[in-house]
Amino acid sequence: MLEIKNLHVQLEEEGKQILKGVTLTVPAGEVHAIMGPNGSGKSTTSYVLSGREGYEVTDGSATLDGRDLLEMEPEERAAAGLFLAFQYPVEIPGVGNMTFLRTAVNAQRKARGEEELSSGDFLKLVREKAKALDIDAEMLKRPVNVGFSGGEKKRNEILQMAMLEPRMCILDETDSGLDVDAMRLVAEGVNALRSPERSFLVITHYQRLLDHIVPDVVHIMHDGRIVKSGGPELALEVERNGYGDILAEAADA
């Protein structure tokens, strides 16, 4: 489904190289995790895939279902089935959460040549999905993320994911700032979306989240490259020994 080949990326303004040849394939239905120390390029990978400005791809490719992601505008990538759950969801005062969700859902449907959802159908759908994530009517009425707690913001991200039904979900440090209960709720929301048709790329510092969202493959990223890949046990190893051993081993290899 998602294929990243030899991806090289630098910061547009500073010319600083961040990704130095990332190669990664996430097949349909699988959950992959990317772990790595601060500054290794994890978040940059998520931004480049979703089309944030400020990054220049100097080499390599990224495709979703064979379509070149890097050629597309961010909204086109979304319509193609890519979703990024933000590490820091953005507050948008004055724009109601419902308005935002409906605009997004219908914009994507329109871009894909599908019929827009009616108010009634949309309302029914959003209420059903919100309930599962313990998001009340009040939260849906409030402006996007304004006055939301850290946990509420992340749940709101998962609600958007549930409404947009993407093919490929990237979670950028979704566990950051969450207590155990909030993390469980978020993880349950993600697990409910797991299907043979949908893939996940979970970016995280800690193994904790991966107790709840069990990955098929774990990749360790360091200095702009994937230095090691393995099963869920790799995450446990990081938890026990830190990154030091793995990185030393990778440097020797």
What is the closest distance, in whole angstroms, from the C-beta atom of residue 35 to other proteins in the complex? 23
Q: Which is nearer to other proteins, 103 or 195 (CB)?
A: 103
Q: Which is nearer to other proteins, 41 or 89 (CB)?
A: 89
Q: Which is nearer to other proteins, 89 or 222 (CB)?
A: 89
What is the closest distance, in whole angstroms, from the C-beta atom of residue 91 to other proteins in the complex? 8
Q: Which is nearer to other proteins, 153 or 225 (CB)?
A: 153
Task: Give DSSP secondary structure letters for 86-134.
Answer: -SSPPPEEEEEHHHHHHHHHHHHHHHTTPPPPPHHHHHHHHHHHHHHTT
What is the closest distance, in whole angstroms, from the C-beta atom of residue 204 to other proteins in the complex? 19
Sites of contact with other proteins (CB under 8 A): 50-53, 73-75, 77-79, 83-84, 86, 89-90, 92-95, 99-100, 103-105, 107-108, 111, 143, 160, 164
Calpha distance 175→95 (Å, rounded) = 26
What is the closest distance, in whole angstroms, from the C-beta atom of residue 164 to other proteins in the complex? 7
Q: Which is nearer to other proteins, 100 or 122 (CB)?
A: 100
Q: Are 99 and 93 in contact (CB under 8 A)?
A: no
What is the closest distance, in whole angstroms, from the C-beta atom of residue 196 to other proteins in the complex? 23
Q: Which is nearer to other proteins, 17 or 99 (CB)?
A: 99
Q: Are 23 and 62 in contact (CB under 8 A)?
A: no
What is the closest distance, in whole angstroms, from the C-beta atom of residue 205 to other proteins in the complex? 21
For residue 252, what are the contacts with CB-CB under 8 A and spacing of at least 6?
none
Residue 234 Cα distances to 38, 210, 242, angstroms: 18, 11, 11
Q: Which is nearer to other proteins, 50 or 207 (CB)?
A: 50
Calpha distance 167→247 (Å, rounded) = 32
For residue 148, what are the contacts with CB-CB under 8 A and spacing of at least 6?
89, 91, 139, 142, 156
Calpha distance 48→214 (Å, rounded) = 25
CA 100 from chain centre, in angstroms, equals 19
Beta-sheet pairing, 82-85 with 168-172? parallel
What is the closest distance, in whole angstroms, from the C-beta atom of residue 1 to other proteins in the complex? 18
